[in-house]
Structures are given as structure tokens and as C-alpha cells.
Amino acid sequence: MAKEVLVVFGTRPEAIKMAPVVLALRESPVLHPVVCSTGQHRAMLDKVLPTFGIEPEIDLQLMRPAQEPAELTARVVTAMAGVVRERRPAAMLVHGDTGSSLGAALAGYYEGGVVGHVEAGLRTGDLSRPFPEELNRTLISRLAAVHYAPTEQAAGNLAAEGVERERILVTGNTVVDAVEMVRSAASKAPLAIPETLLAGRRLVLVTTHRRESFGATLDGICRAIARLVEQESDLLVIYPVHLNPAVARSVRRILGRHPKVILLPPLAYLPFLRLMSVATLVLTDSGGIQEEAPSFGTPVLVLREVTERGEGIEAGACSLVGTAPERIVAEARALLADPGGPPSRARAANPYGDGRAAPRIRAHLEELLSRT
């Protein structure tokens, strides 16, 4: 009988990045994926899962309005301990650095299970940024038995913290698998705004959601966007607003009535990738978008003081511009004046992966679990 691998996620980016792993495990003759959603996100998760034909077998429905990391993570630990006790999977996979991932890894560890960490080893070296993700992923690295590092840099971070090399596999980031799976469908997806709005205009795609930016910093980012569209007359900003109420508060107050800024609800994955592919520029503090944009050759200005994703910067695909409004405006204008200049618009290989990460994880797990 096929051995069960519990694949756990709770948020939008985890769902997108774990989808290729679930699909690869479905092809395995010896392993069987059991998809478990913590439901940390609700609407945003429902927007992306259908794209991959995945419906969670277990749905814990743990989201609460305006939740804080402590309470959410506590709910995940309790609920996931029950799931692991009942299912006794051969292994459990968690992803990245969310409260769902830390809570599930902790529950798996306490219940004596094998925890595999997908997208392991990302570090900024600053526990306050991103908050609380830098702590979450560092703790998961202590709990996991096997570490699927997306890049050599991530593997190096783990090794520097004392993780044995034989427990680390460099796989590439599964988000590149996800992009390649849907690239063709995304190119035909609806544009999310009437095409006529784009005539003669350059599109700037914006997203924000980092907790350490809430309040004054996010207000400043929004003011920078308003200033940018006032100074560059042919720009149209499209801003799918994250459902965290702390994000919406700043964004709607400062940009809500701006004629050249279109605020949208979170988009389904395909329309979002379509916008990314036609955008002249992306401004974001997202992790996943830094990794996806190089697949479309769209330059990214990263609205953060530090990033754990140095590969995109080194490749010239992304540029770390911080959160000070003057600098954001200046860097965006410089790039718009010379879109062919660095960061490069040329579509080079994506530094985060080759689109084959999920089959590597599957093959490794098949081998690992054949010994248990």
C-alpha cells in the first residue's frame, strides 16, 4: 500500500508552491499525498487552489478576522497534533515560514513524525524582518528531519547553522514549477481590467503585506506610489490589495480615490501572472513575486530593507529599494526611464529554479521512505 505523505499549507503562497509537490506525489507508485489545509487563509486560498485541481482532504478552517501570529500558530499546533495522531503519516511536508508551517512542524515533531521542509534555508539574518517569518523558518529548520533548499545559497545558510549536508537537498524553488505548469493558461487569462485602460499606458503592478511595514511605513509606500503616478503621466497602477485589514486601511485611505490607481481584490493565480507578464514594472514586498517575475523578465523593485532572496538581485532581475518614499520614487523613475537597463528586462534563466523541483522532492522522499 502507498505510504501517506501529509502535505500541509494554509496561505496563498504556500498553496501555489506546494501544488507542484502534491501533483508530483500523485504520480508516485509508492507514496500518496494527503492534502491538509489549516485554512489560515480562506478567500485567498480558494482563489488559487482550483487552478491546480487540488481540494484539501482535511480542512481545519482556522482563519479568524485580523488574527495575530501567536493565536493562529497556537491553533495550528493543537489542530495539527490531532491530525498527525489520527493519520500517522509516513512523513509530513511543510513549506517556508508561515504560522501554519511552524505550527504543523511543531505538532509533527512532538508526535514523533518525519518532518520535511520545502523552501528551507532562506534567511535575512534579522529576526525582525520579515516578522515573524525569519523566526518561523529558523525554528522549522531545528524541527525538520529533511530540508529541501531551493538554492545553493539557502543550503549554505542551513549548513552554516549546523544542519548536516546529507539532510539537505538543493531542489530549485517549486514556484518555478508552478509558473511553468500554468504559463500557457496564464497568457490567455483575462486581464482583470478592461484592455482599453491600458492603451498608451505603462502598467505598474503593486502588492504589499509585510507586518513589519504596517502603519507609517506602508503609508509612506502608498504616498510614494501616488507621487510616482503624478510624475509619470503615462502610468497606470494596478494594486490587488491583500485581505489583511491592516493593509487595506493604509492603501484605501491614501490611494482609494486616485484616478490612476486601480485597487482590486486579490486575484486568481492566472490573471495575476498575466498582469505580471504585461507589466513594465512590479513594486512588491512579496517573497513569491520576487521569485516569479524573473520567469517573465519583468523587473521588480523590492519594497523592503532586507531580503532573503539575494539570487534575484545578483541576477539583475530585482532591486532592493527599501521603504523610504523618496528612494522608491527615484528608483522607479530611473528604471522607467531605462527599462532595458539593470535590473535586466531580458528573459534569462530564473535564478530560483528550473521547474523540476517537485519531481526531485518526490524522488528523494520515495528513497527516504523506502528505508522506513
Question: Is 171 an interacting residue with respect to ligand UDP (CB under 6 A)?
Answer: no
Question: Is 296 an interacting residue with respect to ligand UDP (CB under 6 A)?
Answer: no
Question: Is 41 an interacting residue with respect to ligand UD1 (CB under 6 A)?
Answer: yes
Identity of residue 88: R
94-128 in b/e form (b: 16+ CB < 10 A) is bbbbbbbbbbbbbbbbebebbbbbbbbbbbbeeee
Confirm whether 242 is a catalytic residue: yes
Options 198, 243, 268, 315; binder of ligand UD1; rule CB under 6 A: 243
DSSP for 336-355 reads: HH-TTSSSP-S----TT--S
User: How many CB atoms sit inside 10 A of residue 319's CB?
Assistant: 17
Question: Is 67 an interacting residue with respect to ligand UD1 (CB under 6 A)?
Answer: yes
Q: How far is the CB of 40 from ligand UD1 (least distance, A)?
A: 5
| Minimum CB distance to ligand UD1 smaller for 105 or for 169 | 105
Residues in 11-70 at the binding interface with ligand UDP, rule: CB under 6 A:
12-13, 16, 48
Confirm whether 97 is a catalytic residue: yes
Q: If you ran DSSP here, which 8-state letter would residue 204 be given?
A: E
Confirm whether 210 is a catalytic residue: no
Q: How far is the CB of 96 from ligand UDP (least distance, A)?
A: 7
Confirm whether 142 is a catalytic residue: no
Tallying the residues shown for the chain, one arrives at 372
Rounded Cα–Cα distance for residues 195 and 201 (Å):
11
The one of ligand UDP, ligand UD1, none whose footprint includes residue 16, by CB under 5 to 8 A per kind, is: ligand UDP
Confirm whether 362 is a catalytic residue: no
How far is CA 169 from each of CA 125, 158, 199, 358, rounded to the nearest angstrom? 21, 11, 47, 12
Question: Is 360 an interacting residue with respect to ligand UD1 (CB under 6 A)?
Answer: no
Of 14, 117, 129, 133, the catalytic one is: 133
| Minimum CB distance to ligand UDP smaller for 109 or for 296 | 296
| Minimum CB distance to ligand UDP smaller for 89 or for 271 | 271
Options 3, 26, 32, 42; binder of ligand UD1; rule CB under 6 A: 42
Contact 228, 258 (CB under 8 A): no
The one segment of 61-69, 166-174, 221-229, 364-372 that binds ligand UD1 by CB under 6 A: 61-69
Question: Is 95 an interacting residue with respect to ligand UDP (CB under 6 A)?
Answer: no
Rounded Cα–Cα distance for residues 153 and 170 (Å):
9
Options 109, 148, 272, 296; binder of ligand UDP; rule CB under 6 A: 272
Rounded Cα–Cα distance for residues 301 and 291 (Å):
12
Question: Is 40 an interacting residue with respect to ligand UD1 (CB under 6 A)?
Answer: yes
Q: How far is the CB of 67 from ligand UD1 (least distance, A)?
A: 4
Strand partners, 318: 300
The one segment of 11-19, 24-32, 226-234, 353-361 that binds ligand UD1 by CB under 6 A: 11-19
Q: How far is the CB of 366 from ligand UD1 (least distance, A)?
A: 29
If we measure between CA atoms, which residue out of 371, 270, 357, 295 comes closest to residue 24?
357
Q: How far is the CB of 65 from ligand UD1 (least distance, A)?
A: 4
DSSP for 143-176 reads: H-SEEEESSHHHHHHHHHTT--GGGEEE---HHH
DSSP for 293-362 reads: GGGGT--EEE-SS--S-HHHHHTTSEEE--S-HHHHHHHHHHHHH-TTSSSP-S----TT--S-HHHHHH
Binding site for ligand UD1 (CB under 6 A): 11-13, 40-44, 63-67, 69, 72, 97-99, 132-133, 209, 211, 243-245
Q: Which residues bind ligand UDP (CB under 6 A)?
A: 12-13, 16, 48, 207, 209, 240, 266-267, 269, 272, 286-289, 292
Active site residues: 97, 119, 133, 209, 211, 242
